[in-house]
Amino acid sequence: MINAPNGDGNWYFVENYTHLGGSHWQTQIAYGMTNPGKNYSRTKVNGTWAGWTLLGATSQSYQNVSSARCNNCTYSNNTGQTITVIVRYFYSSTQGDINVYVDNQQITFEDGAASNSFQGSVTFPVPNNSSYRVLAGNGIISWWELR
């Protein structure tokens, strides 16, 4: 489907609603065929389509993605919804800083310097179609995502 939700290549049943005044005012609802439970809508106002919006409740679950993530590597959220990232990290007197970036914007910074070695954690949301990365000065212990 051209202009499918998220450009994901899945198949959809699509309902089209058009205002009597012409094709400049429309609404589409796409029901997932190959991805059941993922339903989207979008609206055309005065000839311009808005982006797709995921409808209804979604089933998200916590996933341990530690083995697929690395310190200071950039990842993309293309799930069709906002995800939550939870990272546990080490900090010590020599390397305690943690930096979190979403779409190359630093959204948090913690100076976790301590006299001994400790563990900390950071939790942050990542909107759909956004990139994200974590730079933990002394290394990452675990990386979980609610997706």
Q: How far apart are the first and last CA of the chain?
A: 24
Our CA angle for 79, 85, 87, nearest 5°, is 145
Q: Residue ranges of the chain with pLDDT lower than 50?
A: none
Beta bridge partners of 29: 15, 41
Q: In this structure, are 37 and 88 located in the same domain? A: no
Q: Does residue 85 sit in the same domain as residue 47?
A: no
Q: What is the pLDDT of residues 6-43, one digit of tens each?
A: 777 788 888 888 877 677 788 888 888 887 778 888 88
pLDDT at 113: 56
pTM of the model: 0.60
- Tell me: do 105 and 33 sit in the same domain: no
The amino acid at 15: E
pLDDT at residue 127 in the model: 92
Q: Are residues 114 and 142 both part of a single domain?
A: yes
b (16+ CB within 10 A) / e for 33-72: eebeebbbbbebeeeeeeebebeeeeeeeeeeeeeebebe
What's the domain count of the chain?
Answer: 2
Together in a domain, 50 and 68? no
* Residues 48 and 77 both lie in one domain: no
Note down the domain range covering 126.
62-146
Q: Among 95, 99, 106, which Cα is nearest to 137's?
A: 95
Question: Which pLDDT score is estimated for 140?
Answer: 92
Same domain, 27 and 81: no
